[in-house]
């Protein structure tokens, strides 16, 4: 007897209204919903028959990739200055979900995944040629890219990867090694490659000696062999083994600085958790939509099978799991995007949210896909219903980019405190720790990694680690402590009279020089668009010996918003400075000292540095016009720039005069029992910045027994990256201290501040001039510093949606 099959003329899941009716969209922004509708319109051109055929033929969906490129969606999370849309990870996650939900599944999403994710290190740290020549081709869709990190011999222990890139006499490199599970290598023109440029046994820390490259995958050149891996699901997108045998790559293929590749790929790892969660959600909603439709239309015993609780309840359960995972996913994406503006959000908070979202979405997708197959019964095994294809793909987000078990290891539940504890995987082999929220290991379907494998610690070590995490991540009080006398002094509150001494003679002279300093006039500043101007505050104070210390420097993305709430939270944590100016206790105030010449950020922002002093208004060194009667003077907004803290270059406390020294200041033990941690203080190199020589200063600033929030990695590349480098192998005494790397534009401005303050030149090579006014004028003349435009893709999508709405009203 012939099986009574369903009429295949059911609704197409690619229609936007169908998906809207399945997923609750309350709470999304207009921009996110516009993105959803616009991407859905592109996806509707590629029905399930297209993806079914691509899967069966194992054929790349190049037509789909080209259509997304024409719409401008491949660069959704890249800055506008680099040809992207300048949107956030929440919008990028919406794009990935919409693609998967259209019926394209994981294969469709993975065909563009590398463009959203793998290009992030290139955009942040790439050189001028890479940004101007390579990135536009990738964003436009003319070139495809892949990410090459995972190796068969390393697994989760990424820091043990064996692929070598050996520098040659002419500056070029020769690459030898093997990569595995490299997605889209068959069709990619470029690969973002992580390779070791220094042997593992020649570095102090395993994270050192790794470099990142943007290389050509030239199949005609000797030394390159790409072999496709036959796999279970997602067959439309290729996965590969890539073999390098003395493969030549030019010197200019290096991204950023040699030896810092590991730090570069850490950027955006939490963001990718959100992208994978979005893809899993889309897959789950697609499967659930098809199952619900089948349950309504398939009739057995004279009624739809969906009327039976045995069918309806599992689908309802799957829907609730998807909705819960959706809330977790977009909550995590919002946290990640908000961290650009709010540095009070800790890395572990974002890591917990993003890893939890990825876990929940992967599990929800698996549940939905499995139940979709079971709802279809025997027909769930048939290719034409698509649910078998989605079921084969739903294992990917459970395995990659990090397995469920690794996430569960990361998010441990402490039965004593009933709180989620991010766990640090500790390797007994070298005494280092690697944090899962900042990296992970790529498994099949995603060719990259970043978590080291761990030898299980003892129970005592676990308790010690958990306690250290508790201490380090304890929430800060909502308001600063009130200190009325020196007897109530807390060592962390450096603004108390007992710990902030008057300026000594050297510091008085330094402050006098800063007060007297007048930068050259720069009228172009006032004509630049607000979106092209940024501000930096360099705050000084006197320590117990009366020496000047610099507390923090901040780089803001614009001057449009008021200001310093987030940045001042860091100042409070460092020296006890109240967050609110009106709460600064008498007799302290902030005095504007001077501006420095304007600098230029890598993101083509003109930056105005402001130097200020935190001191006593009753101090004899205060200027004559300073208010002394008001117990809590408000800072004049014309003196200290408005800082929205969208970018924080550094947060630390260090002697100002040390930024003229090539070695650490030696603190006699009898004067200060806080010994500096061992480690290098200064290193530097020359680079080219807009065709001009630029000295990059690297300062390894010691942080002694202080809770310091790690800075964000922002535009300007590694100038914004802080890396703890002080923990020596097997030296438990130094676990609580560390050094943080401060460099790039931040390091240069600190050097310039010290040069003005102390009236002498540093002990190392440096730029002969202050500031970048000549460069800024040159770029402005070339039209590079105009008003930033609204993202083109979003603007075009808005117009299309508005036209559609107007047409529906007619």
Name the residue with higher pLDDT: 236 or 573: 236
Name the residue with higher pLDDT: 698 or 759: 759
Mean local confidence (pLDDT), 107-117: 90
Q: Is the pLDDT of residue 504 over 90?
A: no
pLDDT band at 189 (very low <50, low <70, confident <90, very high): very high
pLDDT value, residue 691: 75
Q: Is the pLDDT of residue 344 over 70?
A: no
Quick one: DSSP state of residue 432?
Answer: -
pLDDT value, residue 76: 93
Token pair recorded at residue 441? 């290991």
pLDDT band at 523 (very low <50, low <70, confident <90, very high): very high
Helix (H), strand (E) at residue 275:
helix 269-297
Q: Residue holding tokens 């709430």?
A: 565
pLDDT band at 616 (very low <50, low <70, confident <90, very high): low
pLDDT value, residue 699: 85
The SS3 assignment for 515 reads: helix
Helix (H), strand (E) at residue 514:
helix 505-516
If one counts every other C-beta atom within 10 angstroms of the C-beta of residue 570, the result is: 25
pLDDT, mean over the chain: 75
pTM of the model: 0.59
Q: How far apart are CA 555 and CA 212, in angstroms?
A: 26
Q: How far apart are CA 636 and CA 589, in angstroms?
A: 11
Q: How far apart are CA 591 and CA 639, in angstroms?
A: 8
User: Long-range contacts of range 216-225, CB-CB < 8 Å, 24 or more positions apart?
Assistant: 216/189, 216/190, 216/249, 216/253, 217/146, 217/185, 217/188, 217/189, 217/190, 217/191, 221/247, 221/248, 222/246, 222/247, 223/175, 223/247, 223/248
Q: What is the 3-state secondary structure (H, E, C) of 610-656?
A: EEEEEEECCCCCCCCCCCCCCCCCCCCCCCCCCCCCCEEEEEEEEEH
pLDDT value, residue 414: 37
* Whether 557 contacts 533, CB under 8 Å: no
* Whether 535 contacts 641, CB under 8 Å: yes
Token pair recorded at residue 571? 């100042």
* Whether 669 contacts 678, CB under 8 Å: no
Mean local confidence (pLDDT), 755-782: 91
Name the residue with higher pLDDT: 170 or 454: 170
Q: How many CA atoms lie within 13 A of 805 on its CB side?
A: 9
Instruction: State percent of the chain over pLDDT 70.
Output: 66
Mean local confidence (pLDDT), 214-241: 96
Instruction: Choose the most confident range, by mean pLDDT, from 303-317, 328-342, 520-534, 605-619.
Output: 303-317
Instruction: State percent of the chain over pLDDT 90.
Output: 41
Mean local confidence (pLDDT), 139-159: 88
Q: What is the location of CATH 3.90.79.10 in the chain?
A: 500-620+632-663+677-716+731-781
Could you give the dihedral angle defined by the CA atoms of residues 33, 36, 39 and 40, in that order, rounded to the nearest 10 degrees? Answer: -120
* Whether 217 contacts 247, CB under 8 Å: no
pLDDT value, residue 476: 35
Q: Is the pLDDT of residue 224 over 90?
A: yes
Q: How far apart are CA 639 and CA 552, in angstroms?
A: 17
- Of 137, 210, 150, the C-alpha closest to 185 is 150
Residue 753 β-bridge partners = none
Least confident of 85-89, 143-147, 644-648, 757-761: 644-648
Q: Is the pLDDT of residue 402 over 90?
A: no
Q: How far apart are CA 628 and CA 630, in angstroms?
A: 6
* Whether 369 contacts 390, CB under 8 Å: yes
pLDDT band at 626 (very low <50, low <70, confident <90, very high): very low
pLDDT value, residue 638: 32
Name the residue with higher pLDDT: 674 or 352: 352
Q: Residue holding tokens 């996913």?
A: 329
Token pair recorded at residue 740? 């943080």
Q: Is the pLDDT of residue 444 over 60?
A: no
Q: Is the pLDDT of residue 342 over 70?
A: no
Token pair recorded at residue 187? 């069709």
Quick one: DSSP state of residue 566?
Answer: H
Q: Residue holding tokens 């896909």?
A: 369
Q: Is the pLDDT of residue 164 over 90?
A: yes
pLDDT value, residue 623: 43
pLDDT band at 718 (very low <50, low <70, confident <90, very high): very low
Residues 6+ apart with CB under 8 A from 57: none
CATH architecture of 270-416: Up-down Bundle (1.20)
Q: How far apart are CA 116 and CA 137, in angstroms?
A: 14
pLDDT value, residue 145: 94
Mean local confidence (pLDDT), 386-404: 94
Q: Is the pLDDT of residue 532 over 90?
A: no
Q: Is the bond preceding residue 480 a cis peptide, omega within 30 degrees?
A: no
Could you give the dihedral angle defined by the CA atoms of residues 401, 403, 409 and 415, in that order, rounded to the nearest 10 degrees? Answer: 120
pLDDT value, residue 692: 78
Name the residue with higher pLDDT: 401 or 578: 401
pLDDT value, residue 151: 93
Q: How far apart are CA 239 and CA 180, in angstroms?
A: 8
Least confident of 63-77, 123-137, 297-311: 123-137
pLDDT band at 725 (very low <50, low <70, confident <90, very high): very low
Ramachandran sector of residue 119 (left: φ over 0; alpha: ψ -120 to 50; beta: rest): alpha
Q: Residue holding tokens 């495809």?
A: 144
Mean local confidence (pLDDT), 667-677: 52
Q: Residue holding tokens 């918003």?
A: 561
If one counts every other C-beta atom within 10 angstroms of the C-beta of residue 585, the result is: 16
Name the residue with higher pLDDT: 737 or 489: 737
Q: Is the pLDDT of residue 240 over 90?
A: yes
Mean local confidence (pLDDT), 239-246: 97
Q: How far apart are CA 135 and CA 75, in angstroms?
A: 9
Q: How far are the Cα atoms of 242, 269, 510, 798 from residue 237, in angstroms, in the given order? A: 15, 22, 63, 31
Name the fold adopted by 500-620+632-663+677-716+731-781.
Answer: Nucleoside Triphosphate Pyrophosphohydrolase (3.90.79)
Q: Is the pLDDT of residue 437 over 90?
A: no
Q: How far apart are CA 185 and CA 112, in angstroms?
A: 13
Q: How far are the Cα atoms of 520, 697, 784 from residue 770, in angstroms, in the given order? A: 10, 14, 22
Q: How far are the Cα atoms of 407, 537, 793 from residue 359, in angstroms, in the given order? A: 7, 40, 31
Backbone angles phi, psi at 503, to 5 degrees: -60, 135
- Kind of pairing, strands 254-255 and 210-216? antiparallel
Mean local confidence (pLDDT), 702-707: 50
Q: What is the location of CATH 1.20.140.10 in the chain?
A: 270-416
Name the residue with higher pLDDT: 795 or 644: 795
């Amino acid at each position: 007897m012939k099986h009574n099959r369903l009429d295949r003329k059911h609704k197409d899941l690619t229609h936007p209204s169908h998906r809207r009716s399945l997923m609750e969209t309350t709470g999304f922004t207009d921009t996110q919903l516009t993105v959803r509708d616009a991407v859905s319109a592109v996806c509707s051109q590629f029905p399930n028959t297209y993806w079914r055929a691509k899967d069966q033929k194992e054929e790349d969906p190049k037509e789909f990739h080209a259509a997304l490129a024409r719409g401008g969606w491949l660069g959704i999370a890249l800055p506008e200055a680099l040809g992207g849309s300048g949107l956030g990870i929440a919008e990028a996650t919406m794009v990935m979900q919409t693609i998967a939900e259209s019926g394209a599944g994981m294969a469709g999403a993975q065909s563009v995944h590398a463009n959203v994710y793998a290009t992030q290190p290139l955009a942040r740290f790439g050189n001028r040629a890479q940004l101007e020549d390579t990135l536009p081709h990738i964003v436009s869709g003319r070139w495809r890219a892949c990410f090459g990190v995972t190796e068969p011999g390393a697994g989760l222990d990424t820091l043990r990867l064996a692929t070598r890139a050996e520098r040659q006499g002419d500056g070029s490199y020769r690459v030898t090694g093997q990569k595995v599970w490299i997605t889209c290598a068959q069709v990619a023109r470029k690969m973002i490659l992580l390779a070791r440029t220094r042997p593992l046994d020649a570095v102090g820390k395993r994270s050192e000696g790794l470099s990142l490259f943007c290389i050509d995958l030239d199949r005609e050149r000797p030394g390159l062999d790409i072999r496709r891996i036959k796999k279970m699901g997602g067959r439309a997108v290729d996965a590969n083994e890539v073999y390098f045998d003395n493969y030549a790559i030019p010197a200019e293929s290096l991204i950023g600085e040699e030896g810092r590749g590991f730090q570069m790929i850490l950027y955006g790892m939490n963001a990718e958790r959100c992208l994978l969660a979005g893809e899993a959600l889309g897959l789950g909603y697609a499967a659930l939509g098809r199952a619900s439709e089948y349950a309504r239309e398939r009739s057995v015993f004279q009624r739809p099978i969906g009327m039976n609780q045995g069918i309806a309840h599992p689908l309802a359960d799957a829907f609730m799991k998807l909705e819960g995972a959706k809330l977790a996913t977009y909550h995590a994406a919002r946290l990640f995007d908000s961290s650009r503006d709010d540095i009070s959000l800790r890395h572990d908070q974002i890591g917990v949210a993003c890893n939890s979202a990825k876990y929940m979405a992967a599990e929800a997708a698996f549940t939905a896909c499995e139940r979709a197959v079971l709802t279809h019964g025997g027909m769930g095994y048939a290719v034409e219903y698509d649910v078998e294809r989605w079921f084969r793909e739903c294992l990917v987000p459970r395995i990659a980019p990090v397995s469920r078990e690794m996430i569960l290891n990361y998010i441990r539940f402490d039965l004593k405190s009933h709180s989620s504890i991010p766990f640090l995987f500790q390797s007994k082999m070298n005494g280092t720790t690697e944090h899962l929220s900042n990296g992970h290991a790529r498994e099949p379907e995603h060719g990259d990694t970043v978590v080291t494998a761990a030898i299980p610690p003892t129970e005592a070590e676990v308790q010690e680690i958990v306690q250290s995490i508790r201490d380090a991540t304890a929430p800060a009080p909502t308001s600063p402590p009130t200190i009325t006398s020196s007897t109530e002094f807390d060592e962390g509150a450096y603004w108390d009279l007992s710990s902030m001494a008057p300026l000594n003679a050297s510091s008085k002279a330094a402050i006098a020089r800063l007060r007297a300093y007048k930068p050259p006039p720069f009228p172009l500043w006032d004509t630049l668009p607000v979106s092209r101007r940024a501000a930096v505050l360099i705050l000084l104070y006197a320590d117990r010996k009366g020496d000047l210390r610099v507390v923090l420097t901040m780089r803001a993305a614009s001057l449009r918003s008021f200001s310093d709430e987030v940045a001042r939270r860091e100042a409070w944590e460092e020296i006890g400075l109240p967050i609110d100016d009106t709460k600064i206790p008498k007799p302290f105030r902030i005095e504007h000292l001077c501006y420095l010449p304007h600098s230029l950020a890598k993101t083509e922002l003109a930056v105005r540095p402001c130097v200020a002093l935190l001191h006593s208004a009753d101090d004899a060194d205060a200027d004559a016009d300073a208010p002394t009667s008001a117990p809590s003077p408000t800072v004049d907004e014309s003196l200290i720039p408005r800082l929205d803290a969208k970018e924080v270059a550094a947060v630390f406390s260090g002697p100002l005069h040390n930024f003229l020294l090539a070695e650490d200041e030696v603190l006699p033990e009898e004067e200060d029992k806080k010994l500096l941690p061992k480690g290098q203080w200064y290193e530097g190199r020359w680079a080219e910045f807009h065709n001009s020589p630029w000295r990059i200063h690297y300062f390894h600033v010691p942080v002694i027994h202080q809770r310091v929030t790690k800075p964000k990695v922002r535009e300007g590349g590694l100038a914004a990256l802080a890396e703890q480098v002080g923990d020596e192998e097997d030296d438990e005494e130094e676990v609580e201290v560390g050094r943080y790397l401060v460099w790039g534009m931040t390091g240069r401005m600190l050097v310039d501040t010290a040069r003005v303050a102390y009236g002498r030149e540093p002990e190392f090579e440096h730029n002969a001039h202050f500031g970048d006014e000549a460069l800024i004028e040159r770029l402005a003349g070339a039209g590079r510093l105009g008003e930033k435009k609204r993202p083109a893709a979003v603007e075009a999508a808005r117009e299309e949606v508005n036209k559609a709405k107007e047409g529906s009203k007619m």
